[in-house]
Structure 1
């Protein structure tokens, strides 16, 4: 069984992948076919919806990358981890915490929480 850190790192790799085909592969490896993701700003369902949602987020935050903050933890089928979003070498523009349920080595449902976010120029 994957550790909470393995789940979190694979998840962030999918969010950080800019190549559409490779991102799609990572989404399929990371999320179950019927998975859902939702946070206060967006949501996606299934591989197509989640891949499209990640692409849209990357379009809105070009050059930004997600990094892990702290140590992921979990128990049974629940994983929790925190992240930062920013341009490498600069102060992050957002911090958040995601809580997910898993099965068969993949995420089934992810709830994203924004801990703090700075306003972005239009």
Structure 2
């Protein structure tokens, strides 16, 4: 990876893919195999029941669950990632058909290869 903008673009593209195979392939470009993810709604979209999701397979399941619960939703980058020394944050937009765009943001920890190791998502209140 050249920089975190490229990494984040791959990450958001994964959330917009429609099949589990495509989602997983996109995550493999930008995340470590043992990546962790958390947000306040994580248990709603997975069978695991906890707030922390670990690994690309469970992260892929989270994305597919979110497509099932919110059909047609899509994410976009709202602000350029700010990053240094393994830490990154940026804002994203959530587009749900028939609703106004909602904004959220992610805090990310990444390794020396600019692969994501940890994601903490901050969702809009209405989601």
Q: What is aligned with 2:15?
A: 15
Partner SS, residue 62 of structure 1:
coil
Distance apart, 1:87 and its partner CA: 3.4
In structure 2, the residue corresponding to 1:105 is in which secondary structure? coil
Structure 2 SS opposite 1:118: coil
TM-score calculated relative to the size of structure 1:
0.85
Residues 14, 30 of structure 1: 8 Å contact kept = no
Q: Structure 2 length normalisation: TM-score?
A: 0.82
| Off by >4 Å, runs of 4+ in structure 1 | none
Distance 1:89 1:109, change over 3 A: same
Matches within 5 A, 1:42-81: 42=42, 43-81=52-90
Q: Where does the alignment leave 5 or more consecutive residues of structure 1 unmatched?
A: none
Secondary structure at 1:112 match in 2? strand
Unpaired segments ≥5 residues, structure 2? 43-51
Q: How many residues align?
A: 117
Q: CA separation in 1, counterparts of 2:121 and 2:28?
A: 19
Does the CA-based 8 Å contact 1:4-1:80 persist in structure 2?
A: no
CA RMSD of aligned residues (A): 1.8
Q: CA deviation at 1:105?
A: 2.8
CA deviation after TM superposition for structure 1 residue 89, in Å: 8.2
Matched with 1:100 is 108
